[in-house]
Structure formats: structure tokens, C-alpha cells
Chains A and B, each alone.
Chain A
Amino acid sequence: MRLTADPEVEEFRAEFSAFLDANLPSEQEAVPRSKSSADMPEWARRWQRTLFDAGWLLPGQPPEYGGRNATLAQQLAHLEELSRRRIYHSFNPQGLGIIAASLLTFGTEEQKRRWALPILRAEITAALGMSEPGAGSDLAGLRTRAVLAGDHFVVNGQKVWTSGAHDADVLLTFVRTDPEAPKHKGISVLLIPTDTEGVVRRPFGSITGPEDLDFNEVFFTDVRVPRENLVGPLNDGWRVANGSLGHERTMLWISFAERLEDLVRDAASDAEWYATLLMDLQALRLLGYRQLGGDQSPAQISVLKLLGSEAVQHASLHALEERGAEGLVHPAFTAPFNHMNHEPFISSWFERYVRSFAGTIAGGTSEIQRNIIAERILGLPR
């Protein structure tokens, strides 16, 4: 244990920090906003491409995939620097963090070239098709059916909540390929281009407003998908799912730490909940650091997700309540302007509280995290 930073990490951090100073898009340039999690204005694409070319996009990857073979501690420093400045490195977070990352782990060389690279270079965007009307927390209950017919699959079924699907070029889609097998064993993963015949995307509004279009229903009717778009072995999709969620979750705590820092900055208070907020933030960071070199089992990740998401919710509720009726005002500016990330700036306190539920629902609900902690860490019977 030591407080002082590792020189190897600090050197890396300083280099990245200098890069950001020199290359960050200007305020004039970054005017058009991203309208969904797969909508990328030209400047945002250029920005991601700049990061890719310089090896600062996914620093843990080798240079050909936008990285520089950085260590885990360096990757954390990279995310911390972005987070400290509230910069998105991609305006297609699932595309970069889950889909491209999964392809780099499970994809063939051809899939990496054909799909992962264009996502990394921000030439195309991607969305994640896991959840269905009948398969939320119980993801393995998914029913979208894919039947192998020679050199292609035929897909029928429906996804829902597919963030950004209407703006995405491709969907990483979890499908059932063996309906006879136990439910975890009959799942496969397909890359489905959204312009394929039979794919219909219907965006719908979120709780924040009918014009906040990120959620989608996606319908598949006799959609023909080339066999080479199968990611990972046939019927081995559950492993890919866990890998995908792993990618999503390993350093996910940083995004909760960032929200907590936002609240520390924007909701300063002399009430006791504010001290709890400071403590939650500190504890989350410490546990995140500890996990870095140690136990990265999914169950330990659950501890960070539960702690982080619930802390954000707790503090934003207090921030809202402290404002009383003023908290009803909407829209309202509740954070300093930041051209690389408008989110908290344009959110009212009520909206910020409501948005905290994305943290406690998406990516495995708080209840599911508690189940995981109880069963996998404490060993309680299923």
C-alpha cells in the first residue's frame, strides 16, 4: 500500500494530458450535439479518429487497434484523465466499450478488420441487442430465433431498449440458435447490419421526454445474416455475453465516480448527506484501485457497481430534496458548461435524480448485483 503514484503511470498520464491539451476539439468545432448513444457528429468522429491514430483510444490494445499495450494501471489513468476533464472519448460508448471490445476478444481476424476497426475509427457506430420484452434481468431467456440455413442465418424476433439502434450501422445481436438446449447453452451472437432487409428500428422516448430518443424496439423479420457474422462459436453466446458485460463493467465504476464528482461540485451542501457523498466517492475509488491489481471477478465488480450506482442515486435525491420546490424547475442548468459533455449541464436536478436510475437498472439491476454478491461471494444457496 502506498499513496504515491507509480512513475510509470504518471509519465503515461502526463503524456496523455499533454496530448489532450494539444488536440481537444475547440468549443466552436464541437457545436452539433450527439443525439443518441450511436449518433456521432462529424467533429466527434474526427476526435475519436484522432485518439485512435495516436494510440489513445483503447490504450490497453496494441497500436493496430488504437492502443499502446498499456498496463491496467495506465488504462485507469487514461480513463481518469478523460473523466477529470469530463471528456467522452467516444460518443458511441457501447460501440467502443462493449461491441468493439468484444470483437477484439471473441471475433475472427476478418471480423476485427471488417467491424471492430471501423467502429474504433468512428467510421461506423454500433448498438447492443441483448434485452428483449421477455428477457431483461433473465437475459438467458431471450427468444429471438436464428436458424442456420446453409451460408446464412435467418433471424426472427424482437429486441428492446437497444440504445441508439436507430442511429447505429450494426447491431451486436444475441439470438437463440438451439431452442432444445438448456437456456444458457443455445445462445449465439450475430453482427446484424441495420440496413439489412427485415430489420425495423423504432426509437421511443425516455422518461426525460418524448424527444429524448435513445431507446429502440428492433424487429427482425426473416432477416438473412451471413454465417461469417457469427461472433464466437455457435451456441457459445453466453460466454460472449459475460465477456461483453465484463468489458462494460470492469472499469464502469469510474463513470459512477465521475457522477459523484459532478455532485460534489454541483450540489455543495453543509448537510450530512454531503459528507456521505464524499465518503462514497472516496471508498469507490479505493475499492476500484484495489481491484486493479487484485480480484477482478465479476462478483467483485458487482460490489463497485452496486455501491457506485446507489451512491449516485442517494446523493442526487438529497440534492433534489434540498432544493425543495425549486427542484421542480425544468429544464435547468445545474452544472458548468462543458463542450465535450453537455449532459449534467442541461439537466435539471429532478432529471439528474431520475437519470440515476439508469445506473441502478441497466447492466444488471441493483437487486441482481445483490444476488450475485450473496451467492458468489458469500456462498449463499441459490
Chain B
Amino acid sequence: MDFEFDEDQRLLQQMVRETVTKSRSLPEEELWAQYRELGWLEAPPVELAIVLEELGYVADPTPFLATATWFAPLAGRLPEGSGTAVCDGTGRFVLDADRADEIALVTGDGVVVVKGSDVRADRVAVFDQTLHVAHVDAPGLVAGVPDLALMGLAITTVGSCRRILDMAVAHVKQRVQFDVPIGSFQAVKHKAADMYVAIERARALAYFSALTIAEDDPRRRRAAAMAKAAAGECQRVVFKHGLQLFGAMGFTWENELQIYLKRAKAGDLLLGTASEHRRALLA
């Protein structure tokens, strides 16, 4: 197997990075329009993972993740506008269900696509104010989480974790205590190194999941569970060390760190935590 990005994938990654950095302060609708125009929603799994990693890195506010990785694989097409899916059989905590134009319902009779305005979806107040999740009231729901949805949450979480590490590293290089940058303390270095390794591990498993989906490999189900579990394990390390290394500055609203921390944690809590997916691997 070949586990490196090819030239086109590297170029895509670079282009996505530049685009999301440049567009950071654009209003949500403009971002959404831009992503659609760039064709990112149509990207095949590995390329989609490349996009999502960078969207995680900037804690993207649009319904991109739910549209591309929840709705699309179940409906077999892209929605008119934005989309999501009720896929874990409960109808609870559905990403973007309160604002989706179309919703794919996984039911005992198969996938049924309905207009967002035709189902009741109550947005839930959550810690991360930029995150949309809602409870959906629909009958006959059964579980059928797409591999792509697990992979999507996993790589988005990895992206947010990368951001946390980058912020923490920049911080410990410039924050001086005891007359030296705190990054020279070994207790700090080792935390940073552990964050890095956790990210590399989770990132590799997320791209492997994307690759198995792209090639419809028989390992795709397990690979998706591994990706989701590893992303959850990763954010545990990165959340804990990332916040700790900022000291009280990490405890403020002002510091953007909080946005990425909350995204990363939500990435684990939605669609089953690491523990749940580890157990799925044992079944």
C-alpha cells in the first residue's frame, strides 16, 4: 500500500489551508457558498478528509460536515442546500438538524429523505455555542451510521487537535516564567510530544478509514470505528495538556483555544465515544 498523499492531494491540502485561512472572518453563508463553489462537497473520501481536517483546524461554523458525511452517503446525493442525517436510531443530538434543508432518516423501511421543515427538530443548548445539534422527532428510526460520518467526525477532531497543539506550542515558546520560556521545561515538552504522537496516530487511522471507504475495502467498517476511537483518545490527551499548558489564559473566553477544545471534545462525544467504538471493535 501507499500511505502518502500524491501530488494532487498535496496541492489540494495547500489550497484548502490557504482558503480557510484567508476566509476566516467571512460570514457563515459566504463560507458555505465558497465551499460549494470550490466543489469540496463532491470530493471523494480521501480528498474530503483533507478538506475536513482543515475545517476542523478552523472550527468551521458551516453545515459542511453533516452535509458531506452524514447526509450524502445515506441519500446517495448532495442535498438542495444543506443536509444531515438521523442515523444512530435515537434521533437525539443530530448535527445541524435544526438548520438542514434536507434530512436523511434511517428507518426500518430504509433511508427516507425529508425536508428539514417537515420534521420537528429542537436545537439543544450546548457548551459550544457555535455547534448546532438538535433532537429530531421521527418514527421508525433504526441505527445505520455511515462509515463516512465516523471518519468525518474523526478527522475534523484531529484537525481541531492539531490547532490546539499549534497554539500550545506557540504559547510555550513565548511565555516566560522563571526567566526562561516555559517550553524549555521538560514537563512541558513531554506533554507536547505526547500530544503530537496522539495526533499522528489518530490522523493516520482517520486517513486509513477514508482510504478504505474510497476503495470500498472490506475493512472499512472496522477502520471507521478505529478512526473514531483514536480521535476520541487523541482529544483526551490534547484537551487535557492543551488547556493545562496555557495556565489561566486557557480558562478565558477571550482565548480562541476554548473554541477548538470544545470542538474536539464534541467530536468524541457525538456518534459514540472512544470507549463505545473500542467495544465495537471487539464485537
Query: Does B196 contact A287, Cβ atoms closer than 8 Å?
Result: no
| A378 interface contact, C-beta 8 A | yes
| A69 at the B interface (CB under 8 A) | no
Task: For chain A, residues 364 to 382, give those with C-beta under 8 angstroms from any C-beta of chain B.
Answer: 367, 369-371, 373-375, 377-382
Residues of B within 8 A of A279 (CB): 201, 205, 226, 229-230, 233, 278, 281
Asked if A210 is at the interface (CB within 8 A of a chain B CB), the reply is: no
In angstroms, Cα B7 to Cα A294, docked, is 13
Tell whether, in the assembled complex, residue A275 and residue B281 are in contact, meaning their CB atoms are under 8 Å apart: yes
Partner of A278, one of B186, B207, B226: B226
Kindly state whether residue A290 has any CB partner on chain B within 8 Å.
yes
Residues on the B chain within 8 Å of A28, using CB: none
Within 8 A of B (CB), among A1-24: 1-6
Inter-chain contacts of B36 with A (CB < 8 A): none
Tell whether B26 is near chain A: CB-to-CB under 8 Å: no
Q: Are A380 and B184 neighbours in the complex by a CB distance under 8 Å?
A: yes
Contact A289 B229 (CB under 8 A): no
Size range of the interface on A?
A: 35 or more
Instruction: Tell me the complex Cα distance, A283–B215, Å.
Output: 19
Whether, in the assembled complex, B194 has its beta carbon less than 8 Å from a beta carbon of chain A, the answer is: yes
CB distance B192 to A274 under 8 Å? no
Central interface residue in A2, A290, A374, by most chain B CB within 10 Å: A374
Given known A-B contacts A272-B278, A303-B197, A307-B201, A371 and B186 have beta carbons under 8 A apart: yes
**0/1 per residue, B201-213, Cβ < 8 Å to A?**
1101101100110
Contact with B190, one of A2, A278, A280, A367 (Cβ below 8 angstroms): A367
How far is A279 from B186 in the complex, measured between Cα atoms in Å? 28
5 extra A-B contacts, CB within 8 A, seeds A2-B2, A270-B282, A380-B172: A272-B279, A289-B3, A290-B3, A371-B193, A380-B184
Q: Is B139 an interface residue (CB 8 A)?
A: no
B-chain residues with CB within 8 Å of residue A378 when the two chains form the complex: 165, 169, 192-193, 196
Complex contact A287–B200 (CB within 8 A): yes
| Minimal beta-carbon separation of A88 from chain B (angstroms) | 26
Q: What is the CB-to-nearest-CB distance from B97 to chain A, in angstroms, rounded to a whole number? A: 30
Instruction: Please report the C-alpha to C-alpha distance between residue A326 and residue B189 in the assembled complex, in whole angstroms.
Output: 39
Whether A192 sits at the interface, judged by CB under 8 Å, is no
Contact of B23 with A by CB under 8 A = no
B266 located at the interface, meaning its Cβ lies under 8 Å from any Cβ of chain A in the complex: no
Question: Which residue on chain B has the smallest CB distance to residue A302?
Answer: B193
Residue of chain A at shortest CB distance from B225: A275
B217 within 8 A of A: yes
Quick one: closest A residue to B180, CB to CB? A381
Q: Are B1 and A370 in contact (CB-based, < 8 A)?
A: no
Chain A positions 247-284 with a Cβ under 8 Å from a chain B Cβ? 270-272, 274-276, 278-280, 282-283
Q: Which residues from 153 to 194 on chain B have a C-beta closer than 8 Å to any C-beta of chain A?
A: 165, 169, 172-173, 180-181, 183-184, 186, 188-190, 192-194
Within the complex, the shortest CB–CB distance from B119 to chain A, in Å, comes to 35
A150 within 8 A of B: no
Interfacial chain B residues near A373, Cβ < 8 Å: 192-193, 196-197
B85 adjacent to chain A (CB < 8 Å)? no
